[in-house]
Structures are given as structure tokens and as C-alpha cells.
A and B are shown apart, each in its own frame.
Chain A
Amino acid sequence: MRAKAGVKQTPEIQYAGTGLSSKDFKEGKILCTRWTADAKYAWDAGIAIGKYLAGFKAGKILGVRCIKCGRTMVPPRAFCEWCFKTVDSWVQLRNTGIVNTFSLCYVTWDVKRVKKPEISAVIEIDGASKGMGIMHLLGEVDPNKVRIGMKVKAIWKPAAEREGAITDIKYWKPY
């Protein structure tokens, strides 16, 4: 590198080793090792998630109520994390809720830029305690018109297509 006039030149430092360039990689001069991890998992749904997902298959949103703190919780769990108490009082919640928070996502999960955003939202379910919501998607709505506090309802897949998964609800739309 040529020193500019008036600028003090830094003496070139000689590091040990050999520098790598992308050309070296392309020409196969570098040892490359590839490994595809064979790591597959299953998750037993258990008592709470199992019943919740069975409810989805039947087109119902189920919650649980803690008799100690009085919270109606969704998604349901086998125990109240605040009271550390087993809960087994199940309640059916409504198919409606309000948008607690949302974000317009202009990149997909695998980081592809999109013009039409996906709208992720936390929806507080009617019948559950305040602040208790489902993480899901909004649809059939102009992204510019989505607001916190907006009333939305679940749009379910047809019964024959439901499989007991959170995607049994296609999305939530304003009503």
C-alpha cells in the first residue's frame, strides 16, 4: 500500500500463518468438512397441550382456570406458574379476541424479503384473563389499518383439514 503524503505510515505487521482468499476455497486448497446433523426430536404433548390441541381439532379454544389466583389461562398448562399449583379446571373460550400487540413482518422466517407483510400478533382471547393471549397471524386486513386493541375473530380451517395443531386456525380477521 502506498502511503499518502503527510500521513504517518504504519509499518506492515507480519502475522504468522497464511491468509485465505475466497479463490483458495473455490480451488479446493482449503480443508472443508461437512456435517449434516441427524438430530430429530418429538415432543410429547402431555396433559395440557394434548387437550388444547384436541380442542383445536374440534374447532374450540380451551383454557384452564387457577382457583387460587383466579386467572383463566391460555394456552392451557397443567400448573399455574404463579401459584405453583396443579390446575385442572378447563373452560371453553370464545373464538374472538383483541390485538394486544402486532408487527408487520417484511422478512419471512427464512429471511426472504416480501412486499406484502406477514402480520404476527398476540391476540388476547375473550374469556381469558387480561394479558392472556395466543401468538398467531392476522389476515384479510389492510396492514396499514391494523391497530392495537382491534377486535378479531378466528378463521378456522374446514373440520376435515384440521389436525390438532395451532395452524388449524388459518388466521384472525377483524370483525
Chain B
Amino acid sequence: MSERVAIIGIGATQFRSITPDVSYKELMFEAAVKAYEDAGINPRKDVDTFVTCAEDYIEGTSIFDEYVPDQLGAVLKPMHTIPGEGLHGIATAFLQIKTGRFGIAVVEAHSKASNLMTPDGIAACAQDPVYTRPLRLNSHFIAGLEMNRFCHATGITRDQCGRVVIKNRGNALNNPLAGRAALVSLGDFCSCEPVSCPLTELDIAHPVDGAVVVVLASEAKARALSKNPVWITGVGWCNGSPNLEARDWVAVNYCTRAAEMAFRMAGITAPRNELDFAEIDDTYSYKELQHLSALRFCGPSEAGHWVESGVTTTTGEFPVNPSGGALGMGHMYEATGLARLYCAVEQLRGTAGKAQLKKASRCLVQGWRGVPTASTAVAILST
């Protein structure tokens, strides 16, 4: 149980709003080939275990794990699919390697969002059938409720949430994978249609297609195969109560618990001082601010000032989502957290190109499963 675990390979497709030229299998295959090339491995010989993250409702195919092995090189190998965030997959593969029974593990997640003809209808299936569905409300209403209560309790303003969008979509201009890069200004929010007040269309990370594959290895394998391993020093995950009637809309304690679990494992006591940057969930603009405080980087109302005064920009004291986040790269369902991790690894390797931060040796990555969930996973990465 003492061996460390490293990331030795990453692969991703471009993240685009539509990908009619390839099937979801071909999309996954492209990311897998890139990741295996990056790691310098042959999946048929070298990989011991595969973990994929997918939700049957999103795929439109029941028992989706059946449709995975071919395009990952996983035929007749140990593999399973988790209906969870991509970072839940990272935590699972991490634990599998920690058992000492597996040397190399592969984690995959993807999105073929453009193939969902009724995304709102599918999202509604996640609502409680007795308490919530009969009200027939669009699922974004849950984010509207949360944003309203969160801003009310913390004093965070509509403009501060808007600045998250401006920052992240702007950051995405420097990220060649990103599908939602744009120059946005606060004025754009004045003319933007509300979705579920105070949430507007611009506050929502829009879905894109894409796939991400990550190769993990034990310390012995990583030392033998990789010149630039990125170490996973901590993982954590936690679920809160799904109850919409009595959940804490402000503090999202499940996120704090997940972070504390990862911090404990990594031996981190002062996250803000010990980490250089963070790639965190921004499925909705306010979520980045909410997660910043839930992850113990700042106080509940401080996050708004941070984004306003430039602390979280790429040249700020604590950059947040230099990749562009989900707002700038696009939302990829279960692959959203893996996209954050992909970009964090690029930063730690010093290969993030125009998005490269000056100081990037330790960071936190976080994923959230979206509305209506209270489900999150966290990983701490280090050079």
C-alpha cells in the first residue's frame, strides 16, 4: 500500500459542439491512441485495468460498459464502468493501483452531447419522481435556486458571477482544445435572456462533444516509463443528501468533505498557500465561486472579491481554471472533471502553451456531477 501513483499519459480530442464525422467509439479511440502514445505503452500488453465513467441515460444505451472495451484496447481485460464523474474514475484507478495488484490503469470519460435530442427531458429523469418531477420544471431551476440563495447568503453579486464567465471564456482563447472560447463583457449580461433567475444563458457551461483518456501507473512503472510523471498525492470524494427541500444551498459541505479527504491524504493543511492553482467545476458561473470557498481556498464571500480583483486570473496570485473551465471549454457530462485534470497535467508538465502559468508544481482538480446532484470528487496533483 505504500507505492505512489502517477499520471503518465493523457489524451483528448478537440471539444466541439458537434462531431458528426465520428461515432462515440471513434471519438474515444482517438483520445485513447493519444494517451497511450503519450505514455509510451501498448494497451493490449501493458494495461492491467480499465475504468470508464458514463451514465446510461446520457449514452442512450443500457449497461453501457458493454460498449466500451473495443475502442480502449480493453477486450478480455479487467474493466468496469462507473456512473460517476471522471474524477471518481481517477480515484477508483488510484485505489486499484494502491492495492499492488495493478501496475497500469486507464481511466476514460467522454461526451457525445450532440447526440442527445432531448437533453432537458433526459436531465429531468434525474429529479425525484414523487417530490419534484410532477412540478415539471426545467432542471436548471435547481441551479437558479442555489445561485439565488448562495448570492443572498454571501453577498456575492450578479456582476461577480459574470466576471467568472468573462475570465474563463477568455482563458479558453489560449486553449486549442476549447470549444467555447469567447470575449464576453459585463454588458452582455444585460441583454442576456434569463433561464431561471438569477441564472442566465451566459452563466451555463454549454455541452460539447469530446473524450479524455488518462493513464495511471504505480511508482515503479512510472519511473521506468515516464520522464515527467505527475503524482496523484491525494483523492477524495463525497455525496451530500439529494434532498432539494432541506439541502444546504450555500456551503455545499459534500465538496468540503471531499477536499478534506484529499488534503489529509496529501498532507496539506493550508491549501491556499501550498497549492499553485486549481482546475475546478464551473458548470454554472456561481459554482466556481461556491466551490472556491467549499474547497477551503477562501472565505464564503471572499471568492467574489477574488474574481473582481483578478486574484484568479492566469497572472493573479491564485489562478483558477486557466484552461477556461467548462464555461470556456464546454461541458462534457462525466468527462468534465477529466478535462480539468487533463489541463492541470499540461500545466504541471509545463506544456500548456499560451495558457502556461509561471508557477505550476502543485494543484487541485475538482469535478461535480451537475444538477440535481450533491456529488463531487477531488484530486491533488504534484510534479
Q: Footprint of B on A, CB under 8 Å?
A: 31, 33, 35, 37-49, 77-79, 81-84, 86
Residues of B near A49 (CB, < 8 A) are 23
Known: A39-B57, A44-B19. A81 touches B70 (CB 8 A): yes
Nearest CB on B from A169, distance (A)? 21
- Whether B25 and A78, one on each chain, are in contact in the complex, defined by CB atoms closer than 8 angstroms, is yes
In the complex, which residues 25-49 of chain B have their Cβ closer than 8 Å to any Cβ of chain A?
A: 25-26, 29, 33, 36, 42-44
Q: Which residue of A38, A78, A86 contacts B124 across the interface (Cβ within 8 Å)? A: A38
Q: Which of B79-87, B113-121, B167-175 contacts A (4 or more CB under 8 A)?
A: B113-121
- Whether A83 and B44, one on each chain, are in contact in the complex, defined by CB atoms closer than 8 angstroms, is yes
Return the chain A residue nearest B71 by Cβ.
A79
- Whether A43 and B121, one on each chain, are in contact in the complex, defined by CB atoms closer than 8 angstroms, is no
- Whether A84 and B73, one on each chain, are in contact in the complex, defined by CB atoms closer than 8 angstroms, is yes
Known: A48-B23, A48-B26, A79-B70. A43 touches B75 (CB 8 A): no
- Whether B117 and A81, one on each chain, are in contact in the complex, defined by CB atoms closer than 8 angstroms, is no
> CA–CA, A41 to B26, complex, Å?
18
Residues of A near B29 (CB, < 8 A) are 78-79
Residues of A near B42 (CB, < 8 A) are 84
User: Which among A77, A81, A84 has the greatest number of chain B C-beta atoms within 10 A?
Assistant: A84
> CA–CA, A164 to B92, complex, Å?
41
Q: In the A-B complex, list the 10 residue pairs whose CB atoms are closest, starting with the nearest.
A: A38-B121, A46-B23, A41-B60, A40-B117, A81-B70, A84-B73, A46-B22, A40-B118, A46-B26, A38-B118
Residues of B near A46 (CB, < 8 A) are 21-26
Residues of B near A33 (CB, < 8 A) are 129-130, 133-134
Residues of A near B73 (CB, < 8 A) are 81, 84
Chain B: interface size category:
35 or more
Residues of A near B33 (CB, < 8 A) are 86
> CA–CA, A84 to B41, complex, Å?
12
Q: Which residue of A37, A48, A82 contacts B75 across the interface (Cβ within 8 Å)? A: A82
Query: Taking chain B's interface residues, is the majority helix, strand, or loop, or is none over half, making it mixed?
Result: helix
- Whether A43 and B122, one on each chain, are in contact in the complex, defined by CB atoms closer than 8 angstroms, is no
> CA–CA, A49 to B71, complex, Å?
14
- Whether B70 and A77, one on each chain, are in contact in the complex, defined by CB atoms closer than 8 angstroms, is yes
> CA–CA, A78 to B32, complex, Å?
13
Residues of A near B75 (CB, < 8 A) are 81-82
* Interface residues as binary, B143-184 with A (CB distance below 8 Å gives 1, 0 otherwise): 000000000000000000000000000000000000000000
- Whether A35 and B60, one on each chain, are in contact in the complex, defined by CB atoms closer than 8 angstroms, is no
Residues of A near B124 (CB, < 8 A) are 38
Residues of B near A44 (CB, < 8 A) are 19-24, 112, 114-115
> CA–CA, A86 to B71, complex, Å?
10
B225 interface contact, C-beta 8 A: no
Nearest CB on B from A45, distance (A)? 6
* Interface residues as binary, B1-35 with A (CB distance below 8 Å gives 1, 0 otherwise): 00000000000000000011111111001000100
Nearest CB on B from A43, distance (A)? 6
Nearest CB on A from B345, distance (A)? 22
Return the chain A residue nearest B23 by Cβ.
A46
Q: Which residue of A35, A39, A41, A47 contacts B23 across the interface (Cβ within 8 Å)? A: A47
Return the chain A residue nearest B20 by Cβ.
A44
> CA–CA, A43 to B42, complex, Å?
29
Known: A33-B133, A82-B75. A42 touches B117 (CB 8 A): yes
Q: Can you name 9 A-B pairs with beta carbons within 8 Å? A: A35-B129, A39-B60, A40-B116, A44-B23, A44-B114, A49-B23, A78-B25, A78-B29, A79-B29
Q: Which residue of A40, A79, A83 contacts B121 across the interface (Cβ within 8 Å)? A: A40
Return the chain A residue nearest B114 by Cβ.
A44
Known: A33-B133, A33-B134, A83-B44. A41 touches B22 (CB 8 A): no
Residues of A near B70 (CB, < 8 A) are 77, 79, 81
- Whether A47 and B125, one on each chain, are in contact in the complex, defined by CB atoms closer than 8 angstroms, is no
> CA–CA, A69 to B22, complex, Å?
24
B271 interface contact, C-beta 8 A: no
Nearest CB on A from B58, distance (A)? 9
User: Which among B20, B23, B36, B115 has the greatest number of chain A C-beta atoms within 10 A?
Assistant: B23
Q: Which residue of B19, B26, B44, B120 contacts A78 across the interface (Cβ within 8 Å)? A: B26
Return the chain A residue nearest B120 by Cβ.
A38
Return the chain A residue nearest B131 by Cβ.
A33
Beyond contacts A35-B129, A39-B118: 16 other A-B pairs, Cβ-Cβ < 8 A, are A37-B125, A38-B118, A38-B120, A38-B122, A39-B60, A39-B122, A41-B116, A43-B23, A43-B115, A44-B19, A44-B23, A46-B23, A77-B70, A78-B29, A84-B42, A84-B44
